[in-house]
Amino acid sequence: METALSPLFKQNGGYLRTKEFAGNRQLFNCLKKQVLAGSVEKIKPGLYRDIHFPQKPDWEEVSLIVPKGIFCLFSAWQIHELSTHISSAFHMAVPHKAKITLPDYPPVKLYHWTEPYLKTGVEIKKGFMVYDREKSVCDAIRHRNKVGMDVAAEVIKNYLKQKDRNLDKLLHYAGMLKAEEQLQQYLSVLL
């Protein structure tokens, strides 16, 4: 059934943010009716999905839920195939003072990071923001006490096995992120 919101949902791949029609009472009332009728699902406050469109893969949906979020730690390691550990939540870095409302599902763990930790090494991969491999390795070293020494070592070992690794970039990031000394220790053992 076509509604006034149908073109907006179609334009956005089945998803819609209420800020896209802020102030338009007619569209807001239409949205409320569609939610009550069950044809639109409320993902979180301000983010809705038309059930007639295919649901996006979890990675893409999480990037819509946390629009300024950057996949980090376990999520980035999984994307870059640096770890075999599968986390029960998506891990995302966000600006230090960001206030984000999360839905119950999918589970998302937020890390509020400041500069330069937040902006260093961000790349777009598969349509969403994720830290590049070198930054992800530095994060494993920086957070080794929280994620576990075994996980950090696995990330570094898997990175070193990759043919297109960039050790200069890795060392540069390590210097910027105050992880150079720990990285040198790992590299002296592993190389």
User: pTM to 2 decimals?
Assistant: 0.81
Residue 79's pLDDT is: 94
DSSP state of 57: P
Q: What is the pLDDT of residue 1?
A: 64
Contact 52, 14 (CB under 8 A): yes
**What average pLDDT does range 22-37 have in this prediction?**
90
Backbone angles phi, psi at 47, to 5 degrees: -130, 125
Dist. CA 171–CA 168, nearest whole Å: 5
Beta-sheet strand order (sheet of 40-44)? 15-17, 47-50, 40-44
**Residue 50, pLDDT above cutoff 80:** yes
**Considering only 1-10, 60-69, 109-118, which range has the smallest mean pLDDT?**
1-10
pLDDT above 80 for 57? no
